[in-house]
Structure 1
Amino acid sequence: MEEPLLNTPLVDYHVALGARMAPFAGWNMPVQYSEGILAEHRHCRTATSLFDICHMGEFRVAGPQAAADLDRILARSVLDQALNTCRYNFLLNEQAGVLDDLIVYRFAEDEFFLVVNAGTRSHDVDWIQPRLSPSTSFEDESDAIAKLDLQGPQSAAVLAELGLSIDRQPAYYRFLTLTLWGLPLLISRTGYTGERGFELYFPVAAAGQVWETILATPGVKPAGLGARDTLRLEMGFPLYGHEMDETITPVEAGFGAMLKLEKPREFIGSEVLRDPVRGRPRRRLFGFRLESRRAARHGAAILIDGRQVGVVTSGAVAPSLDIAVAMGYVDAEFDLKPGDAVGLDAGKTVLPATVANTPFYTAGTARA
C-alpha cells in the first residue's frame, strides 16, 4: 500500500489559486497555476516569482567536532567554509555515488544548517547521524521550518519594498538571520533558477502569513515545480534522481574540480575517486540542444550512428530559447565536443541534436 502524500502548510492556498497538484518526492505539490508553466517561467526570468519549497529537509548539526565530522562526511571541504556563507556539497556513499546534493550553511565555528532534498531526507538522517562524534548534536528541524524561494531579477527590489533594504541583503551564496514581519528569518542569496533570488526559512506556523505578504507585493506571482524544472534545466543544474543518484559520482556529473581531489583531505568516497581504476568515470554528463521544440524525455536513448551511447536524464522545451534542450550521460569512451551531432530516441522518430555547453541560457541574473 502506498504511503499517503504529504502536504506543505500552503496546500489550501495553492488550491485556492487554481494550482494543478501532483506527487513529487512523496509530497502533494503545485506543478503550475492558472497561467501555466510557460508564463510562470517567463515571469521568473523577467520579474519575480514565489515558490513553495516547504517539502525540503533541514538539519542542524552542532558541537566542537561538528566541522570535522561534516568535513569527513561530505565531499567538499567544510573546515575552510567561512561563517555566514552557503556551500553546495555532496553526500556520498563508500563507492563515491551521490546519496544527496545539498547546501551547507555555516552559522558559527561549531554550528551548521544543512538543506537536503525531500526524497532523500530520511535516508540522509540515517546516513549522517551515526557517523557523527558523540559530542556532535543532530536535529532534524524539517517539520518545524517553512521554506519559500523568491526568485527573479526584481527579487531584491521586492525584498526592499517588504522591509529589507538592498544594502542589508546578503551577497551571493551568503546568508543572514534577522527579525522581519515580526518573525525570525534566515535569508540566503541562493536559488535554483539562474536568476537573482533568495531563499527564506522561518517557523512553519507563519507559512501562510509570509506567503500572503509576499504575493501581495506588486509584480510577484506564484510559480510551481513545472517552471522550477524548466528554469533549472536551462541553467544545466542537476536534479537528484535524474542527473545524480547513488550510482553516479560527482566527477561523472561534472563537479570534479569542486572536490579538489589533488589535496590530501579524506572524506567518504575519496579513496574510490582517487583510485585510477575504480575512480575512472564510466560516463560523462552532456548538454544537448535540439532543432525544434519537440523534447526528448528522461530515459530516451542517446544515439551516435544508430548506436546507443547514453541516456537522457532531463529534457524539455526551454521557454527562454524557444527550442528543446536536454541533459544526459554518454559513455566515457566518446569524447564529444560542442557542435557534435547525436540523435535522441523519441520512439517513432529520432530527434536530431547537437552537443551544447551549459548553461543553455546565459542571461541569468543570479550573480548580478
Structure 2
Amino acid sequence: MKTTPLYTRHIELGARMGEFGGWDMPIQYKGILDEHAQTRTKASVFDICHMGEFELSGPTALADLERLLTCRLGSLAVGQVRYGFMLNDDGGTIDDLTAYRMADDRFMLVVNAGTAEKDAEWIKSRISETTRFVDLSAETAKLDVQGPESRKVLEDVLGGVPELGYFRFATLDNGNLISRTGYTGEWGYEIYLPNEEALALWDRLVAHDLCAPGGLGARDTLRLEMGYSLYGHELSDSRTPAATSRGMFIYLEKDFIGKPNVAADLADPEFLLVGLKFASKRAAREHDKIYVEETAVGEVTSGSVAPSLDVAVAMAFVKPEYAELGRELQVEIRNKRFPAEVVDLPFYKHGSARG
C-alpha cells in the first residue's frame, strides 16, 4: 500500500491503520466518537495527502473541463471552488471532485485517492492538444483542519488566515494554498503544501490545545451526518449522479460527457437518494434491503450511528414513490426488519461551515 508523508507520525501517535483507496491510512487515534466530538466542538486535523491533484492549463482548458465535468466552470471566478462530477460516456460517475480556478486559463482538480489514476487517464485521453495536463499528486500534501475552532487554530499556528468565503481559496505568504470547503459541516480549511513541509505543520497543529488528529472513521461519520455522498457508496461508475444530486452540481445548459443519460434520469428517476432515521442505535449497512410490506423498494448505501444525534441513520436509494418525507420504511438488518423514517438531509443541522 502507498503511504503519506505522515505515516511514521501516525504510528507514533498510536493510530489504528487500515487500507483506503490503496493507501495505508489512520482510521482512528483515541476513538471515532472522541474524534467526531472533537471536530464538532473544537478542531481536528486530518491527513488527506492521499487525494489527487491535477492542473489543467492553456487556451482550451476551460472548454475541455466544461465538457468533462457536470458543473458550470465558465462562471467560476479566479479564487473560487466548485464541486461536480466527471462521467463516463453512459453517464456513470467516474469521480466526484472539486475544481479550483487558479487563473483565467488554469485550473486545479482535487480527486479521490482510489480513482486518481483512472481519472488521470480519462482526462488525458479527452483533452485538446493545446491543454496542458500535469499530475501534481506525488509532490502535493494536503492537511484539512475542520471544526468551529479551526480558524483560531490556524491563526495561532500560521500567524494569520486570509478572509475566505465558503468555497473560496487564496495563496498564503509562503506560496501554499488555503481553501475553505470541507466535508464535516463545520467551519474548516484545506492547506495544500509540498510533501516535505507536511510533517512540521502537522506537528504544530496537533500541539495546539484546541486541535487533535482525526482519522477516516470520524471523517466518515461526520460526512454521513451531513448527508454527503461518498464515491463507491452513493456514487459509482454504473449509476448516473441524478438520483444522488437531484440536479444539483449538474448544469444542463451545456454539453458534457454522459449528459443524455443524466438528463433522462433526472426527468424520470428509477431511484432517489434519501435520508433514513431510526428510533434506535441499530445501524444499517451498505446493501441492506429496504421494504414496504413484502416489496423490496431500495437498499442502503451508507449507515452508522450518528454520534451527534445518538441514533442510527442511513442514506439509501429508494423508488421515487417511497421517497416522501415522513414515510416509514422497513430496513432488513441481519435478517430482522427495523422501522426507519424518511427524513430531510442533512441529518445534523447545526454545523458551523458557513459561519
* TM interval, short-chain normalised: over 0.9
Partners of 1:299 and 1:335 lie apart in 2 by 17
Amino acid at match of 2:262: L
Counterpart for residue 23 of structure 1: 19
Alpha carbons 1:272, 1:279 under 8 Å: kept: no
1:281 aligns with 2:275: no
Q: Cα deviations across residues 84-105 of structure 1 (Å, max 9, x unaligned)?
A: 0000011011111111000000
Pairing of 1:143-162 with structure 2 (within 5 A): 143-162=138-157
Partners of 1:65 and 1:136 lie apart in 2 by 5
Amino acid at match of 2:24: N
Amino acid at match of 2:187: R
Pairing of 1:169-318 with structure 2 (within 5 A): 169-179=163-173, 183-261=174-252, 263=253, 265-275=254-264, 280-318=268-306
Alpha carbons 1:302, 1:311 under 8 Å: kept: yes
* DSSP 3-state at the match of 2:165: coil
Question: In percent, how many aligned pairs have the same letter?
Answer: 47
Pairing of 1:55-204 with structure 2 (within 5 A): 55-166=50-161, 168-179=162-173, 183-204=174-195
Structure 1 runs not aligned, ≥5 long = none
Partners of 2:327 and 2:4 lie apart in 1 by 44
* DSSP 3-state at the match of 1:259: coil
Compared CA separation, residues 278 and 208, structure 1 to 2 (3 A): closer
How many residue pairs match? The answer is 355
Alpha carbons 1:26, 1:119 under 8 Å: kept: yes
Partners of 2:351 and 2:299 lie apart in 1 by 28
Alpha carbons 1:313, 1:329 under 8 Å: kept: yes
Alpha carbons 2:36, 2:307 under 8 Å: kept: yes
Partners of 1:352 and 1:186 lie apart in 2 by 46
Counterpart for residue 338 of structure 1: 325
Partners of 1:308 and 1:267 lie apart in 2 by 34
Partners of 2:307 and 2:7 lie apart in 1 by 27
Counterpart for residue 326 of structure 1: 314
Alpha carbons 1:282, 1:331 under 8 Å: kept: yes
Counterpart for residue 338 of structure 2: 351
TM-aligned CA deviation for residue 169 of structure 1? 3.1
Partners of 1:105 and 1:266 lie apart in 2 by 20
* DSSP 3-state at the match of 1:208: helix
Partners of 2:85 and 2:158 lie apart in 1 by 34
Using the size of structure 2 for normalisation, the TM-score is 0.97
Compared CA separation, residues 344 and 105, structure 1 to 2 (3 A): same
CA RMSD of superposed structures (Å): 1.4
Structure 2 runs not aligned, ≥5 long = none
Q: Cα deviations across residues 13-46 of structure 1 (Å, max 9, x unaligned)?
A: 111111000111111110000x210010011000
* DSSP 3-state at the match of 1:285: strand
Partners of 2:203 and 2:317 lie apart in 1 by 41
* DSSP 3-state at the match of 1:114: strand
Alpha carbons 1:187, 1:199 under 8 Å: kept: yes
Q: Cα deviations across residues 91-139 of structure 1 (Å, max 9, x unaligned)?
A: 0111111110000000000000000000110110111111111111001
* DSSP 3-state at the match of 1:28: strand
Please identify runs of 4+ aligned residues in structure 1 that moved more than 6 A: none
Partners of 1:55 and 1:255 lie apart in 2 by 29
Partners of 1:245 and 1:6 lie apart in 2 by 23
Alpha carbons 2:205, 2:212 under 8 Å: kept: no
Compared CA separation, residues 19 and 133, structure 1 to 2 (3 A): same
Partners of 1:205 and 1:278 lie apart in 2 by 45
Alpha carbons 1:298, 1:312 under 8 Å: kept: yes
Partners of 1:273 and 1:190 lie apart in 2 by 26
